[in-house]
Structure 1
Amino acid sequence: MDLSLNETQQMLRNTAKDFFASECPETHVREMETDNEGYNKQLWEKIVNQGWLGVPFPEKYGGFGLSFLEFCILLEEAGRVLLPEPLFEAVLLGGMPIFVSGNEKQKEELLPKIISGESIATLAFYEEDDLISPLSVQTNATLNNNVYNLNGVKMFVPNANIADLVLVTARTGNNEGDISLFIIPSTTEGITISPLSTISSDKQFVINLDNVQIPSSNLIGTENNAWKTIETIFEMAAVGKSCEMLGAGEKVLDGTVEYAKTRTQFGRPIGTFGEIQRHCSEMATLVEGTRFVIYEAAWKLSNNQDASREVSMAKSWTSDSHTKVCSIAHQVHGGIGFTKEHWIQLYSRRAKAAEIAYGDANFHRNKLANMLEL
């Protein structure tokens, strides 16, 4: 079985790896942790000019006409350097719901703006209980004279401070699955945002919706039928986040092995000690084992196959394995790895956030158990 990348995919990987290594050094990641906006506009423009926001979208909307699989390759390389710019969010949380379920007018109007970087979009789904369930959606939307009125509170909305468009889930009926998805310009009256403090120092926000009024034409798809869209987007997001963790894990492995080769103790490199060798070998096994289950899920999603089992396998395995890789790296480095000045803590803090994003290991194991009819 040939699991190698084709020429186009390998070229994309090489270009992205070189670009991110040059444009997103550790100093940039640290600067963006304390930056009010959390991203650099000049770097974002360079990413946009590469055309990478259009990788999974058709050429008719200004995209590359490739697939989700190729976008996953980009995310792996972005994860390697902890890219702060909203590549993941703008494409998977902003553009993809419109592409998957929007009408043709919405696609023609909005996707070219997202792909060109003219507009940044994000998704507001989570609420107070932070669960992935239609029952968790308590924000409500009522229709009167072709105008929807929305009220509620959304939690953990990424990049809400820089978003031009916010895609908001809201309850539009009394049944469990009566969820709808709306496009709301961020400047709409009644929207207020408040920043959250997170372990990964990324930009997450609370959005308050107080009698926010939008035309019915801003509904994505049909009323009460958005949950299937959310499930599709969250499957892609779970795999995409796993790809970022894979790239980050590769960097942690490489850096730890290099440290083991150069750090001396008792007159010789610590990498010559059996316990350190065991640690590094386990890290390598975890990282490479992760790759195959992730890309199987990505391939199935890209080919419009049912990938629910593979997605849950990938995210549950990666959530566990990546946090373990970072934990082992700390053991190899010792106390210095826990200092703020050291690079490893940048990765281990983000590992804890990624671990629970779009379903933690337990969430996806429970999904797998249900699929196994247990």
Structure 2
Amino acid sequence: MSIIFDQEQQALREATRQFFTEQFSSDAIRSQMATSRGFEDKVWLRMATELGLQGLALPEEYGGAGAGFVEQLVVLEEMGRAVVGSPYFSTVALAANALTVSGDAAAQKELLPGIADGSMIATLSFLDASGAVDVDGHAVVATTSPDGFVLDGRGYFVSDGHVADKILVVAATAAGTSLFVVDTQWPGVTAAELDTLDQTRKQAHLTFEQAPAVLVSREGGGSEIVERTLDLARIALAAEQLGGAQRCLDMSVEYATMRSQFGRKIGSFQAVKHRCADMLIAIEAARSAVYHAVQLAADPATADSNELRLAAPMAKALASEAYMYAARQNIQLHGGIGCTWEHDAHLYYRRAHASTAFLGGIEEQRERLATRLGI
């Protein structure tokens, strides 16, 4: 299914591509990923103030632009294309989406303006020690205190958990799985940064010891919020993967038309042509699934539908397959230079592997799809 981008959306793509090209060059990416934070604060603020990216899809009443999921698709594709390293996905696709889905007006009023203007980094803690979605809230337990709630337990593999200002935490209560907000400056919260395969996307383990927390929405309503949030996040991640896969194909074609061997451009060899054609087929198949899911998410009539719940894992599975294949072929078509640290091919290869595992791997998405189909 195709999306016809209007002039404003095309202008958004051009502006974001130019910005990411300038701010996330190969040297800049390598410099940033070598730091603990993984990004430059001034670039993060410019993304919010100059381009309005953090608040792009947030309501105008909270400082956002009031745009939709199609505009978000454009930005995420360009981020994937440039292997952007920043807490954008954790803040926007995870935390902001969870707040929006929760319907908690008080939490939205308190947190979304800070996300929109770039002054706040937020994330979502929703995994257990095995890396699976903690639907029952076993990893963290919330108990009542004179001032509200306190959390005890651990949050695992939390995206940008060590740099976040606010953390939305899935925790178990007497009423069932619930969602809470924790300020990282409050007592009882510690973070340990992890070594990651994709060094452009940081993670941390979090420890909560009698950490004060504020309930989001109703007690016991966390599972519904997280399930819908993760479906939207899977579509967002699939859009990012699509951009990365397309860039791998572009790099391969560019190199094939430039590199000569045996007195001919390697792009003239049938085997190289076939590989590039196979990459294109995989990417276009993924694009159809991703764009279909985005259209469902963008339409209020289908944003919380069964159709979207089927489209989300399908988009994530196909985008993961396409990105993995394109990233692998990109290295092989570049030959020896593609295997070096100095070449950018490995940045996409690492991102492809990490993104495939993030929010559930290919087989997990297929199993989720089959379950939702009633198979």
Candidates 187, 190, 193, aligned match of 1:192: 190
Residue 142 of structure 1 corresponds to which residue in structure 2?
A: 143
Aligned AA for 2:220?
N
Cα pair 2:152 2:210 within 8 Å, conserved: yes
Q: Deviations over 1:238-287 (max 9, x none)?
A: 11111111111111111110111111111111111110010111111112
Distance 2:26 2:284 in 1: 24
Q: Give CA deviations for 1:50-78 in whole Å, capped at 9, x if unaligned.
A: 11111111111111111122112101001
| 2:205 corresponds to 1:180 | no
Does residue 278 in structure 1 map to residue 274 in structure 2?
yes
The equivalent position to 1:224 in structure 2, one of 214, 220, 241, is 220
Alignment TM-score, normalising by the size of structure 1: 0.95
Q: Which amino acid aligns with 2:42?
A: Q
- The code of the aligned residue for 1:7 comes to Q
Q: Report what 1:52 is aligned to.
A: 53
**RMSD of aligned alpha carbons:** 1.5
Deviation at 1:136, TM superposition (A): 6.0
Deviations along 1:181-225, whole A, 9 cap, x unmatched? 1111001111111111111013110001111123xxx21110011
1:64 aligns with 65
Counterpart CA distance in 1 for 2:114 and 2:128 is 28
Does structure 2 retain, via aligned residues, the 8 Å contact 1:125–1:137? Answer: no
Give the superposition deviation at 1:87.
1.7
**Matching residue's letter, 1:257:** V
Q: What amino acid does structure 1 have at the position aligned with 2:205?
A: V
Task: Say which SS state the counterpart of residue 360 (structure 2) adopts.
Answer: coil
How far apart are the structure 2 equivalents of 1:213 and 1:183?
9
Residue equivalent to 2:338: 337
- The number of residues matched between the two structures is 368
Structure 2, gaps ≥5 residues long: none
TM-score by length of 2: 0.95
Cα contact 1:130–1:136 (8 A) shared by 2: no
Amino acid at match of 2:356: E
Query: Which range moves more in the overlay, 317-326 or 133-142?
Result: 133-142
Instruction: Say which SS state the counterpart of residue 171 (structure 1) adopts.
Output: strand
- What are structure 1's unaligned runs of at least 5 residues? none
1:163 aligns with 2:164: yes
Aligned partner of 1:245 among 241, 244, 248: 241
SS in 2 for 1:247: helix
In 1, the alpha carbon distance for the partners of 2:12 and 2:367 equals 35
Aligned: 1:266 with 2:257: no
Give the deviation of 1:173 after TM superposition: 2.9
% identical aligned pairs: 31
2:85 corresponds to which residue? Answer: 84
The letter for the 2-side match of 1:278 is H
The whole-number CA distance in structure 1 between the counterparts of 2:115 and 2:344 is: 32
Question: Structure 1 residue 18 and structure 2 residue 14: aligned?
Answer: no
- Is the CA contact (8 Å cut-off) linking 2:2 and 2:288 kept in structure 1? no
Task: Tell me how far 1:102 sits from its aligned partner.
Answer: 4.5
Which runs of at least 4 in structure 1 moved beyond 6 Å after TM superposition?
none
Q: CA deviation at 1:32?
A: 1.3
> Are the structure 2 counterparts of residues 2 and 169 from structure 1 closer, same or farther at C-alpha, using a change threshold of 3 Å?
closer
Offset from partner CA, 1:136-156 (integer Å, 9 cap, x none): 633100113342121111111
Give SS of 1:154's match.
Answer: strand
Q: Which residue of the partner structure matches residue 364 of structure 2?
A: 363
What is the alpha-carbon distance in structure 2 between the residues aligned to residue 363 and residue 173 of structure 1? 29
Deviation at 1:2, TM superposition (A): 6.2
